[in-house]
């Protein structure tokens, strides 16, 4: 009688029917369930428990758990059921909606396989290696078990194909961070950055998700032959924002303007009456400009070049020549330095070629100091 009742009940089920089952026993390769409203046994093979490969049934379900299931086969005394099909059906419906809306998903990495990562979103999702990060990753082994965010880049329910990208999420976040940073930046701000890349014309500095250019002319108050003489990749630097072009995402920065200028504390470095060595940088009709510190030039007026009258500074000086100078006056506020060569020379030297230059004037060649006339003495 019981057997006949079972056969009648079995005939009331068809492949594709949806049933509710409660897990009665979890075996290694299958799960036995009690089917709600039926005396029949329900069997879920391990292959029908999950869209992903699992080693044992207990990895997917536990005793007492209530499951939504689909009939995939009707046997004489039992129904063969699938949990995977129900999960997949629900998942595809949800995933299609999220794909259309461009939503970001969160899921655990279930496995690392050749060519990428596998995640479980109710259906098997695959993340190609090139779509994991925005940079090259050599070994993905430590990604297993990690929770990552993803965007769906390809979805095909018929082919059971779901391609995901974590890289797309990362790049979108970086772009948002960049736009926000651009809006925050204003000329005149002084901020910390990290040197990312060095070129012949300057250095690119990361200032929080976006790079700005420090042109070679803005690296230092001193002349810079090549940027690597001043900065190196990975170096933390203070920069001043010179300009922000939001449309073209271009930011001009300066390291130089965050540094003490060459004229800072010049009154202490070159007090009135002090003697300094310098290089003649420029000769003009009214005197000579002498660089006494990098970026600091003072004027030796033509009247302070020699005791004797000279028509032009070119008569006794030349550009690039090293000279000794005495500070006559210093004005740090106006960045002006008045210098004298004459005050380091004894007037008698210009009248008697037998005298030697004093020690503090050794930077001069005698003929260059007092002109051609002295060269001809004694001829």
DSSP type of residue 264: T
Note the pLDDT of residue 252. 96
- E strands, the chain, are 18-26, 30-35, 41-45, 66-74, 78-82, 105-113, 116-120, 124-128, 147-156, 161-165, 190-199, 202-206, 211-215, 236-245, 250-254, 275-284, 287-293, 296-301, 322-331, 336-340
Phi-psi region of 141 (alpha: psi -120 to 50; beta: other; left: phi over 0): alpha
Q: What is the pLDDT of residues 264-311, one digit of tens each?
A: 889 999 999 999 999 999 999 999 999 999 889 999 999 999 999 999
- Mean pLDDT along residues 239-254: 94
Report the Cα 355 to chain-centroid distance in Å: 65
Alpha-carbon separation of residue 21 from 5, 67, 82, 90 (angstroms): 20, 5, 11, 17
Residue 97's pLDDT band, with cuts at 50, 70 and 90, is very high
Which residue from 275, 283, 252 is spatially nearest to 344, judged by alpha carbons? 275
Alpha-carbon separation of residue 73 from 32, 42, 77, 80 (angstroms): 15, 10, 11, 5
Note the pLDDT of residue 65. 93
Residue 78 has pLDDT above 80, yes or no: yes
Coil, strand or helix at 11: helix
Note the pLDDT of residue 11. 60
CA diameter of the chain: 148
Residue 10 has pLDDT above 80, yes or no: no
* Cα–Cα dist 356/375, whole Å: 14
Rg (alpha carbons) of the chain, rounded to whole number? 42
Residue 228 has pLDDT above 60, yes or no: yes
Residue 379's pLDDT band, with cuts at 50, 70 and 90, is very low
Q: Which residue has the tokens 């990312």?
A: 196
Residue 360 has pLDDT above 90, yes or no: no
Residues 6+ apart with CB under 8 A from 189: 240, 241
Residue 348's pLDDT band, with cuts at 50, 70 and 90, is low
Residue 253's pLDDT band, with cuts at 50, 70 and 90, is very high
Please give the domain boundaries of the chain with CATH numbers for all domains: 2-85 (2.40.50.140), 102-170 (2.40.50.140), 185-258 (2.40.50.140), 266-371 (2.40.50.140)
* Cα–Cα dist 71/51, whole Å: 17
Checking 129-135 for CB contacts under 8 A at 24+ apart, the result is 130/167, 131/163, 131/164, 131/165, 131/166, 131/167, 131/168, 132/166, 132/167, 133/166, 133/167, 133/170, 134/167, 134/170, 134/171, 134/174
Alpha-carbon separation of residue 292 from 33, 173, 278, 341 (angstroms): 94, 51, 4, 13
Contact 23, 62 (CB under 8 A): yes
Which residue from 31, 10, 36, 9 is spatially nearest to 21, judged by alpha carbons? 36
With vertex at residue 199, the alpha carbon angle to CA 196 and CA 205, rounded to the nearest 5 degrees, is 30
CA dihedral over 280, 281, 284, 288, signed as positive or negative: negative
* Cα–Cα dist 227/19, whole Å: 72
What global pTM score does this model have? 0.56
Burial environment of residue 339 by CB neighbours within 10 A (0 to 12, 13 to 18, 19 or more)? buried
Residue 51's pLDDT band, with cuts at 50, 70 and 90, is confident
Higher pLDDT, 333 or 330: 330
């Amino acid at each position: 009688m019981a057997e006949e009742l079972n056969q009648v009940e079995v005939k009331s089920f068809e492949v594709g029917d949806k049933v509710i089952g409660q897990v009665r026993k979890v075996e290694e390769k299958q799960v036995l369930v009690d089917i709600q409203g039926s005396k029949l046994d329900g069997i879920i093979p391990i292959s029908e428990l999950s869209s992903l490969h699992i080693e044992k049934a207990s990895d997917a379900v536990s005793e007492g758990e209530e499951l939504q299931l689909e009939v995939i086969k009707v046997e004489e005394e039992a129904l063969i059921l699938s949990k995977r099909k129900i999960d997949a059906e629900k998942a595809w419906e949800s995933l299609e909606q999220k794909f259309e809306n461009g939503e970001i998903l969160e899921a655990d990495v279930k496995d690392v396989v050749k060519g990428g990562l596998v995640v479980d979103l109710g259906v098997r999702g695959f993340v190609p290696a090139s779509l994991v990060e925005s940079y090259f990753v050599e070994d993905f082994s430590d990604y297993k078990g990690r929770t990552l965010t993803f965007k769906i880049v390809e979805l095909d329910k018929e082919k059971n194909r779901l391609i995901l990208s974590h890289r797309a999420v990362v790049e979108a976040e970086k772009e948002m961070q960049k736009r926000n940073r651009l809006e925050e930046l204003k000329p005149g701000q002084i901020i910390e950055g990290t040197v990312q890349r060095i070129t012949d014309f300057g250095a690119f500095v990361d200032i929080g998700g976006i790079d700005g250019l420090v042109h070679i002319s803005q690296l230092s108050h001193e002349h810079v032959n090549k940027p690597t003489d001043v900065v190196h990749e990975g170096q933390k630097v203070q920069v001043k924002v010179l300009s922000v072009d939001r449309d073209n995402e271009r930011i001009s920065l300066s390291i130089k303007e965050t540094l003490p200028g060459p004229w800072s504390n010049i009154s202490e470095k070159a007090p009135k009456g002090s003697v300094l060595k310098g290089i003649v940088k420029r000769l003009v009709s009214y005197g000579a400009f002498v660089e006494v510190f990098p970026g600091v030039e003072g004027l030796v007026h033509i009247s302070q070049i020699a005791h004797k009258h000279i028509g032009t500074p070119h008569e006794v000086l030349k550009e690039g020549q090293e000279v000794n100078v005495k500070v006559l006056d210093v004005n740090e506020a106006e960045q002006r330095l008045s210098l004298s060569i004459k005050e380091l020379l004894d007037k008698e030297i210009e009248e008697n070629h037998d005298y030697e230059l004093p020690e503090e004037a050794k930077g001069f060649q005698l003929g260059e100091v007092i002109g051609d006339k002295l060269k001809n003495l004694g001829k």
